[in-house]
Amino acid sequence: MTLLKFTLPLVLTPILLLTTPVKANGIDECDPFWIKSNMNKYMQSERVERLTVRAGSKNKCVTISANSNEVYDILKMQYNKRNALESKLRTKIDEQLRSSASGSVKHRYTNFELTGNLATKLTANSNGEILARVNGFGFKARAKYTLKNVPSIIAKVYANVSINNIVVDAKYDFMTGKSQVINVNPINLNINVDSRIFGFSVPLLSNYINNKLEAELRSDIANYLDTKTNGWSKALFSLDNAIPNDKFGNLGITVKQKLTSLLQGQYIEIRTNTKSLIGSSLTVDISGDFGIHMDSDRYENPCYIYADTPCGIPMD
């Protein structure tokens, strides 16, 4: 399939802090229009991964085959890690809210959702230690309580527990890929419960959950930062494996080298959006001078051969 030379208004998907080069015909291979224009006409839709690498003023973006690629593997790993964290926190919060019911009070259920997106920042201190800070995420939970042997329509109460941003600090080892959590910042839970009905004490409930939650977070974040479970790699989350030398050459080699060590004053910051795999993304900022962006999305084929409507893209 070839593209005719014509002018069309394009809707560009923004890539955080990274801009992609434009080809001579004005359309880059990472642009959604280019992707849709080059789809197999027998494919109704296609999953596409995009990878952008930046070093100084030089940058390059390529599309990656959906059959098997490290970009998708890394996004899926982040998706699975987020789900594992959500599952463990859901279990822990449900246990605490369930155990807070006693006497004539009965716990019915707990709804739980992990909110926000995980962000990780590695920095090097004057002692040569690598410090990791994980934040950007929180949760909200809602538990229902009733009185035993009393219909809920007559007597019920809901306890809402939430926190917007959890901050966990750790020491990270590039060689082993392991971390040691050294601090969980004070967790200030927002708890809203009508304590007048069933006699719940909000301060006691808050302290009880906080103590249990801090211990759980220490373990969960240590597991989240463990990057060696999927094979050996020098870089956090195996990011170096996602950059193929045959596509990026010296540009890719330069950026990969920056992922494996840090000098004092330097940092590696990773921001993820992996609530779902479709539409997921990961962005890396290396001391402001280097960057990586990867994302995955599914594109509908405007020229699917069995579609009810004709192809809207001019072709030879």
What does the pLDDT read at residue 12?
36
Contacts with 244 (C-beta within 8 Å, 6 or more apart), sequence order: 70, 252
d(CA 190, CA 205): 11
| Cα angle, residue 90 at apex, residues 85 and 96 outer, rounded to 5° | 130
Return phi, psi of residue 166, to 5°.
Answer: -100, 135
Residue 103 pLDDT class (50, 70, 90 cuts): confident
pTM, rounded to two decimals: 0.83
- Whether 200 shows a pLDDT value over 90: the answer reads no
Position 196 pLDDT exceeds 90: no
With a cut of 90, say whether residue 51 has pLDDT above it.
yes
- Give the per-residue pLDDT at 101: 77
The structure tokens 């940058």 sit at 59
* Predicted pLDDT of residue 26: 54
CA 196 – CA 157 distance, rounded (Å):
10
**Beta-bridge mates of residue 269:** 121, 285
- Mean local confidence (pLDDT), 252-268: 90
Q: Are 47 and 297 in contact (CB under 8 A)?
A: yes
3-state secondary structure of 44: coil
